[in-house]
Copies of this chain bind each other. A is one copy, B any other.
């Protein structure tokens, strides 16, 4: 290609030609999203996506420009109405937070700055904001000031980071350099049968293989059986394996069960194992005045993975990994290229003497996700978060009492935190037919759009499941849920009898 001369360059930009019309559009968006959040209760929780909407997204790559107003209008018509629904007060499926207004605003601000949060103390303010948010999280969850931390895309990434540190620290040789194939003793880790699938995913990515994840049975409270855990470790050692880690659950996804974390910490201490805790679903119980005792022992974890986009109600994506030992954490990930040599002379963008945020994980470029946490925690204060988390736990207990009072319903697991598992049994069917009936209840409720719960399998039976991580839910919403479940259950049972 011949070198272009200066005159030949007709330069363009993505910046607007007309800033004022874009400003008008921005103001319209603010009005629209605030109306959208304010009136969310008046709309269906979820609605099926019509075929013509699905077809709309098959259109080919646009080569030519389109007016920003038109693009936005298309969003309003085709995208906005078909939400999964987790921002709605009557959404309690799976484990997802609600989001909040300041969090959404913060994402606008962060994207406008578009600073790269992979840097060091000199680079930019986002480093300091993230460090402060991490300090606050450590404070709230009982970790020492010396612990390290990193905000992540969520708890899957946090679990992956935590287990990487565990594996590398406990291997007993330079695993980063030599790899897993250099060791003949099979590295093993332990968790209960109720542990989240992201642990298995991490174990597979790490090259350990799912065979390395020894799943231990649970007791009636869905807690890992400590005796069986100890036996498993002993037997694996006898068989020449190398046990290196126990993963505790601070809130399982299925039932909200919490392992005996102090007992696990003791086992790890005496067996010299890494203690990792998956706190995606329940770590924040530590803020709830009447529930914090349930997660005692969590602060003894070598690494703790958690989410802020679940039970801290922040918009996606924001999770966090904490590690008791900063050096172990950093040494599992730090890697400095020629073009990113960490400065020693204190000056310039790269001159900070601190480790970089990218030294604690696998992302080098990182968005400014800390801002939404920083602004939200400042706006509301930690005590209010504690009350809201307690409120969800209270709502779960209220719901479980309602269920107990209904002859057609049966509680399927003890309510430890914010998860309520139950089953419609108001029909003299066999268990398999009741499984099918309960599945249909979930789908029917979703399609009617008034309330969304999910289902899961407990002890071989399909059950209904409400996981409450929602700052918009009101006590009446749970009365409504029970009315709807019994109404729909009755209807389905009656039509099943007719066919």
Contact = CB atoms under 8 A, between A and B. Distances in A.
Interface string A135-173: 110011000000000000111110010001001000000
Contacts of A345: 443
Contacts of A432: none
Contacts of A457: 338-339
Interface string A374-391: 011111111110011001
A93 interface: yes
A34 B29 CA distance: 13
Nearest to A446: B348
A394 B4 contact: yes
A371 B291 contact: no
Contact of A1 (B1, B80, B153, B397): B397
Contacts of A85: 115, 124, 349
A207 interface: yes
A210 B177 CA distance: 5
B116 A108 contact: no
Interface string A258-300: 0000000000000000000000000000000011000000000
Interface in A99-135: 99-105, 107-117, 119, 121-126, 128-129, 131-132, 135
Interface stretch (A71-79, A217-225, A228-236, A321-329): A71-79
A364 B11 contact: no
A412 interface: no
A337 interface: yes
Interface string A28-70: 0111011011100000001011000110111111111111100
A180 interface: yes
A347 interface: yes
B128 A49 contact: yes
Contact of A443 (B99, B107, B348): B348
A125 B53 contact: yes
Contact of A398 (B4, B124, B351, B368): B4
A211 interface: yes
B36 A112 contact: yes
A316 B368 contact: yes
Contacts of A176: 204, 209-210
A282 B64 CA distance: 23
A408 interface: no
Interface residues of A, number: 196
A365 interface: yes
A226 interface: no
Nearest to A56: B128
Given A102-B71, A178-B209, A379-B68, A83 B397 contact: no
B61 A38 contact: no
Interface string A320-363: 00000000000001011111100001011111000000000011
Given A22-B34, A153-B317, A178-B211, 14 more contacts: A11-B474, A14-B98, A15-B38, A19-B34, A36-B112, A61-B135, A71-B102, A105-B108, A153-B153, A179-B186, A316-B367, A345-B443, A349-B452, A351-B443
Nearest 8 A/B pairs, CB to CB: A179-B209, A207-B207, A99-B114, A316-B367, A348-B443, A82-B125, A339-B456, A33-B112
28 contacts: A3-B401, A12-B384, A14-B102, A14-B380, A15-B38, A22-B34, A48-B122, A49-B125, A49-B128, A61-B135, A79-B113, A93-B349, A107-B108, A111-B315, A112-B315, A154-B363, A154-B366, A156-B363, A157-B362, A176-B204, A179-B208, A180-B208, A181-B187, A201-B362, A338-B457, A348-B442, A348-B447, A351-B443
